[in-house]
């Protein structure tokens, strides 16, 4: 199968033009040779109509010959821990865009033109997928501006800049700077299983063991604060009924005996009072 494909490619190349160098394996071409070959292939690419077999052959050869540029740029980011295959694929998109937009009349080397495209796609990939939590694009860009400003001001002041100094440097309000600093915390996230700082007392317990949690009693406190003024609207007999039922935890029969009324009457009174209190609490919320 491989022999057939190579023979077909060779026949197609012969049909295209005798002045194009034969490139049996474009991906194996050395970078220096790729620069020279690319000039010839770009000249021929402009002669063919987009979508034709001839156009696709020349374009695909250009892509494969110049993949070394993508790998070169991608190597800068190998320390980030991301999958290099993903970075190379994203960089290839930038290479393809550069090939489609390059024009020999510009008078510049293709590598000079293509590298910013490749780098831009990779940076966009990190900008859009590198955040641990989603934040608006405006704040993602502000994080980069703040990082540069902090470095510049730190070098000038020999200390960490204040929020006011950052705001003045970037010509932003202090509120915008604070929003950007808070959003920057969403760029990375730590695992709850991460050990705490080495401390003999903690014995390197995971972070989840030392984090606080919501106190369920807080909701009860809020409910009581909401209920208190509503209880003041009840008359003396109604407050007495509530006290006996929920304060002294008496049954409806015991309350009836205490007040000299039937259990049925106590039940109706309690239902009416509780319904009113419940409606009042929902309204207050």
pTM: 0.44
Domain range spanning residue 39?
A: 2-129
What tokens does 64 get?
Answer: 């494969």
**Does residue 87 sit in the same domain as residue 123?**
yes
What tokens does 175 get?
Answer: 């509120």
**Does residue 141 sit in the same domain as residue 122?**
no
**Exposure class string for 140-153: b at 16+ Cβ within 10 A, else e:** bebbeebeebbeeb
What tokens does 63 get?
Answer: 């892509």
Residue 279 is assigned to a structural domain of this protein: yes
pLDDT, tens digit, 9 for 90 and up, residues 57-97: 899 999 999 999 999 888 887 766 557 888 899 999 999 99
pLDDT, tens digit, 9 for 90 and up, residues 220-259: 777 778 888 888 888 988 888 889 988 888 998 898 888 8
Rounded Cα–Cα distance for residues 75 and 87 (Å): 9
**Does residue 179 sit in the same domain as residue 268?**
no
Q: Taking the mean position of all CA atoms in its chain, how far away is CA 5? A: 43
**Does residue 67 sit in the same domain as residue 9?**
yes
Rounded Cα–Cα distance for residues 222 and 243 (Å): 20
**What CATH number did the domain enclosing 250 receive?**
1.20.140.160
Rounded Cα–Cα distance for residues 53 and 65 (Å): 18
Nearest to 267 by CA among 245, 282, 243: 245
Residue 187 has pLDDT above 60, yes or no: no
Dihedral in degrees, nearest 10, Cα atoms 91, 95, 96, 98: 140
**Does residue 35 sit in the same domain as residue 86?**
yes
Number of domains in the chain: 3
Rounded Cα–Cα distance for residues 180 and 177 (Å): 5
């Amino acid at each position: 199968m491989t022999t057939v494909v190579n023979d077909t490619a060779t026949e197609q190349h012969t049909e295209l033009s005798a002045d194009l160098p034969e490139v049996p394996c474009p991906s194996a071409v050395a970078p220096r040779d790729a620069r020279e070959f690319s000039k010839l292939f770009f000249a021929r690419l402009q002669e063919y109509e987009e979508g034709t077999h001839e156009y696709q052959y020349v374009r695909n050869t250009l892509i494969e010959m110049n993949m070394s540029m993508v790998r070169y740029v991608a190597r800068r980011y190998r320390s980030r821990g991301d999958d290099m295959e993903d970075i190379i694929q994203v960089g290839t998109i930038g290479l393809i865009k550069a090939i489609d937009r390059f024009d020999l009349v510009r008078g510049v080397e293709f590598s000079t033109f293509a590298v910013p495209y490749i780098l831009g796609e990779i940076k966009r990939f990190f900008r859009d997928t590198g955040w641990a939590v989603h934040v608006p694009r405006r704040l993602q860009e502000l994080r980069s501006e703040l990082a540069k400003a902090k470095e510049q001001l730190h070098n000038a002041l020999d200390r960490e800049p204040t929020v006011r100094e950052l705001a003045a440097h970037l010509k932003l309000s202090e509120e915008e700077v604070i929003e950007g600093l808070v959003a920057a915390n969403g760029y990375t996230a730590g695992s709850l299983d991460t050990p705490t700082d080495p401390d003999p007392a903690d014995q390197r317990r995971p972070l989840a063991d030392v984090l606080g949690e919501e106190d369920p009693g807080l909701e009860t406190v809020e409910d009581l604060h909401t209920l208190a003024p509503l209880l003041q609207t009840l008359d003396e007999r109604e407050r007495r009924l509530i006290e006996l039922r929920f304060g002294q935890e008496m049954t409806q029969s015991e309350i009836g005996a205490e007040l000299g009324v039937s259990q049925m009457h106590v039940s109706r009174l309690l239902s009416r009072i509780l319904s009113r209190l419940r409606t009042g609490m929902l309204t207050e919320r």
